[in-house]
């Protein structure tokens, strides 16, 4: 028995990102003027947002998508001296952040 088309879309597995999160973290640190424990911590926070975008929990994924839009990413990027649009572009081009990520309503 074939599932309805709407069910097939819901059960389709997400594609794997093009690079691992460790690679993303190294890329971020490569663009930091001075690598220090503090800059590694900030890059780690951003890396965790990438990890959360791939979580099995829809709530965690939703919060991670919001992180990339609501100003929190901007704050961490400011500490590192990175352009947040650069980080968003990495997330999009590597397959972590979906192109059509819409803000989901609050519960």
Instruction: Dump pLDDT digits (tens) for 68-104.
Output: 999 999 999 999 999 999 999 999 999 999 887 554 4
Grade residue 7 by pLDDT with cuts at 50, 70 and 90.
very low
18: tokens are 């093009």
Distance CA 96, CA 50 (A): 6
Distance CA 81, CA 4 (A): 48
Q: What's the predicted TM-score (pTM) here?
A: 0.78
* CB atoms inside a 10 Å sphere around CB 3: 10
Q: Is 13 among the domain residues?
A: no
Q: Is 101 among the domain residues?
A: no
**Residue 96 in 3-state DSSP?**
coil
Map tokens 């690598």 to a residue.
Answer: 35
Distance CA 55, CA 64 (A): 9
Q: Is 86 among the domain residues?
A: yes
Q: Is 44 among the domain residues?
A: yes
Distance CA 3, CA 65 (A): 29
* Lowest pLDDT segment from 6-15, 40-49, 55-64, 82-91: 6-15
Q: Based on the structure, what is the number of domains in the chain?
A: 1
Q: Is 63 among the domain residues?
A: yes
59: tokens are 């709530």
pLDDT at 98: 85
């Amino acid at each position: 028995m074939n599932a309805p088309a709407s069910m097939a879309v819901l059960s389709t597995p997400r594609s794997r990102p093009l690079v691992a999160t460790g690679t993303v973290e190294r890329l971020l640190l490569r663009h930091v003027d001075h690598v220090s424990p503090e800059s590694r911590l900030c890059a780690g926070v951003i890396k965790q947002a990438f990890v959360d975008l791939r979580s099995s929990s829809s709530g965690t994924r939703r919060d991670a998508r919001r992180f990339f839009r609501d100003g929190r990413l901007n704050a961490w990027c400011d500490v590192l001296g990175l352009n947040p649009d650069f980080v968003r572009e990495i997330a999009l081009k590597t397959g972590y952040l979906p192109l059509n990520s819409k803000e989901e309503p609050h519960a």
